Amino acid sequence: MTTSVLSTEEVRYYQENGYLLHKKQLFSPEKMNALTNIFEEQLALKGSKLSDELDTPHFRDERLLEYLLADEVLDLVEPIIGPNIGLWSSHFICKDPYVGRSTPWHEDSAYWSGRLSSFDKIITVWLAIDRSSDENGCMRVIPGTHNNGFSDYENVDARMNLFATQIKNVDESKAVSFELERGECSLHDSRIIHGAKPNTSPNRRCGYTMRYFSTEAKVIPEKNPGFKVWLARGKDIAGSPFVNV
């Protein structure tokens, strides 16, 4: 990559705060519309699952690899985690109007504990398929908490929440809302504390999370049965079981 998509100031901001809002269109309108159509197909096939449970859809539909391995995304990721990039996972997260469940305060890395050798260079690109706002339950983060290590969790009602646990004693007064227009995206560190309120509005809130790791970290095969990772860019440094190497 000859010219970074992110400025030096933006990279520094991400490193200090653990997140960055990229208020620009990630894909062309045509490519974004095609991705939305794939999502709508996945949504129609979900059966009895709730619409916020469409995890690893690229395992079922490899058309999504056109997006997950695209330069538009990887050029955002590389300035932050380096040139050797693995595709960790993806997830359609959709909060239906009025009934969309809340996402309790959590760290992504806490749910992946033991599955990778390190978590300091894992990034999520959260692409807004629908407009995301405070009204329809946009993501919120607690800046700077990516340097805190694993937090203490407590149980919550899984019927009302996406997860059955949440981080204890979060100071919500420090929360920053990720308000995004369709086609814009946010970036966040896997260790940052984040969550989202329920969607009580009449407007659906859907995003596509695209998650990447530096190949300096190793994906541990015995802790990831049936899980697939792709080498997105550069070289495999730690010897992870990539499907395309």
Query: CA 157, 162, 163: angle at the middle one, nearest 5?
Result: 65
User: Would you put residue 154 in left (φ > 0), alpha (ψ -120 to 50) or beta?
Assistant: beta
Residue with tokens 């959260």: 126
Q: Is 96 a residue whose pLDDT tops 50?
A: yes
How high is the pLDDT of residue 52? 59
**Sign of the dihedral defined by the CA atoms of residues 184, 81, 5, 68, in that order:** negative
How high is the pLDDT of residue 149? 82
pLDDT tens per residue, range 222-237: 999 999 999 999 999 9
**Is domain 8-233 in CATH 2.60.120.260, yes or no?**
no
3-state secondary structure of 97: coil
Cα 154 from Cα 147, distance rounded (Å) = 21
pLDDT tens per residue, range 101-122: 888 999 999 989 999 999 999 9
How high is the pLDDT of residue 116? 97
